[in-house]
Amino acid sequence: MAVGLNPPEDLLPVAGIKLGVHAAQMRYRNRPDLVLIELAENSSTAVVFTRNRFAAAPVIVARQNWQRAKTRALLINAGQANAGTGSIGLDVAEQCCETVAQELGCATEAVLPFSTGVIGSAPPLDIIRMAIPVCASKGREDAWLDAAHGIMTTDTVAKGASVTVDIDGSPVTITGIAKGSGMIRPNMATMLAFVGTDAGIDQQLLQQSLQSAVEHSFNRITVDGDTSTNDACVLMATGRSEATAIVDKDSDAWRVWYEGLMQVLLKLAHAVIRDGEGATKFVSIAVEQGNSEKDCLEVAFTIAHSPLVKTALFASDANWGRILAAVGRAPIDELDVSKVSIYINDVCVLDNGDTAADYSEARGQQAMAPEEINLRIVLHAGDATATVWTTDLSHEYIRINAEYRS
């Protein structure tokens, strides 16, 4: 059960983006599993892809197509990842693009395919070909929530977020959906995320904005330290708002819009963690006063990936020595342990390298009990800071992944 997370009740439509959703029953029964997103002409698209060198076939094809043509459509299937499928998987991804292009009357290179699900399995081409026209016929601007359900795998709730910002007196909408629950240390984005805006933005600036926003949202979350073969995040800008087009990163218009984008991406990233497989805790790890942001991130991720820390979090066990040990083995060049302080929520457990004078087991246990826990590590080495979000490690996580293909 997701930690403090409810599915979105409503997601704002984005002018110029239509979403069609269909239950093609490629793997799942009685639920949507295919999504077609159609973009208005002259839309701009920014994309970041997984850094996993075993990139799935749709990632390979999407990366190539995005570089060759202006994107007009995205096709997403849930159930089969189409990764580790060699030339057959590439052929399936390419033929899916051809079918969408024929249906919408656009170039094949203008279609980006995405898949999520079991590695080693490609989606059935005959079924997907028949389902694409159905998806196209169902396209609506207000179908974001339906699409959020259509891209789920082990997610327990759909994930979406919307904001409206004011630019020069005109409203601009930003809406996004994401899926992800396990195999999460994105190293670029969550397993799949799709965000749309009706702002008009130069493509190069859009790409720079997405890369920066991803670095400070999706790249700061981890469930289990595993980077998927299929990760991708797409940002689409249709230019259908009445607001003046954004062309300058130093402008007030860009700053207002970017703040809205960060709100959406952070909400989606946090939702992935709150719905982490088997999660019972939502954990924020803030590392402060580091020598560099890189050092702060190394310390935070070392803590977040420690099975001993994560199981202590699950048990609400104030075994803070596990946190201390993780800090000590973080791969940073310099660490003065006599200056390190550790806090669990508001309770100081380690003060400048020594057990805090007022610490007690009872206070530590009380600090570890809530569903939401803030771990704060103060290095006293500089001015840098960074925050990472993660989960605990429960019996349910093991069950879900042990039974994933059954």
Residue 186's identity, in one-letter code, is: P
DSSP state letter for 253: H
Distance CA 150, CA 162 (A): 18
> If you search the block for the tokens 């946190």, which residue do you land on?
323
CA–CA gap between residue 300 and residue 383 (Å, rounded): 16
- Residue 176 gets the label, from left (phi > 0), alpha (psi -120 to 50) or beta, of beta
CA 342/CA 321 separation, integer angstroms: 10
CA distance 102 to 108: 8
Tokens of residue 30, six digits: 């009685």
Residues with catalytic roles: 190
Give the C-alpha separation, 294 to 123, whole Å: 39
Give residue 390's Cα distance to chain centre.
12
> What does the alpha-carbon distance between residue 115 and residue 229 come to, in Å, rounded to a whole number?
10
Query: What b/e sequence results for 317-336 when a residue is b if at least 16 CB atoms lie within 10 Å of its CB, and e otherwise?
Result: ebbbebbbebbeebebeebe
